[in-house]
Amino acid sequence: MRVVIFSGTTEGRALSEETVRLGLETVVCVATEYGRTLQEEHPGAKTLTGRLDAPAMEKVLEGAALCVDATHPYAREASRNIVAAAKKTSVPYKRLVRPKCLLPDDCKVVESATEAARVLEKTTGNILLTTGVKELGAFSRLNPNRLFPRVLPSRESIRLCEENGIPQSHIIAMQGPFSRGLNRALMEQFAIRWLVTKDGGAAGGFPEKIEAAQDLQVPVLVIRRPEETGDTWDEIVKKCKELMACR
């Protein structure tokens, strides 16, 4: 009985531990080598690395008993491909939904990184970007000396920062999630006057970022989270247990 988990998130890695513990053959798909490194800290599952399109996902899903989409809440394209592949192969699909966080009243919600950049054009001061390295291009209209992107410590992340003109001394390459204290220390160290972020939920350290910004009276721009439906952690684990019971 095989379960395929499309992961790259904290809860995806934890779910693979649970399915392995239950005795299910587990295949975990991650996009990057860095994601593979993190996943391999959770032994027992087979890890496949690389960005997959829908046809490649179909090959991985062929014959599986369950497909779990545990990708990041903002990874819309990946989720669309996973849904299409699961439908094509007739594999039951479950979306593991990360609960949203309550947004503070004083934050400004924008629809995209591009909109956030337009807002910031009318401001001054250093900007902490915690939106992911793929969004960097949207901020190219701003002076790169204002930008302090916090990205994963991978070669790809550093390369993309450099390609977008980010000074090396401004690249914060660290693996989160981060505590309130560390967020605050980074904002103080780099004299941050604006925070741009996404609602990555509690698992992504969103509350700690907001709390640190409020401590220092740093205004926050939040890129709106895509609406989605799916299943909770407990519901998906229950489904996995049912698969084992049917063996």
Query: In angstroms, how far apart are the furthest CA atoms of the chain?
Result: 62
Residues 163/169/171/173 CA torsion (nearest 10 deg) = 130
Q: Which two tokens stand for residue 100?
A: 């949203």
> For position 38, what pLDDT does the model report?
87
> For position 210, what pLDDT does the model report?
96
Decide if 68 contacts 5 (C-beta within 8 A).
yes
> For position 83, what pLDDT does the model report?
96
pTM recorded for the entire structure = 0.85
Residue 13: its H or E element: helix 10-22
> For position 174, what pLDDT does the model report?
93
Residue 236: its H or E element: helix 233-245
Positions in the chain short of pLDDT 70: 247
> For position 104, what pLDDT does the model report?
86
- The one-letter amino acid at 212: A
Residue with tokens 């975990």: 28
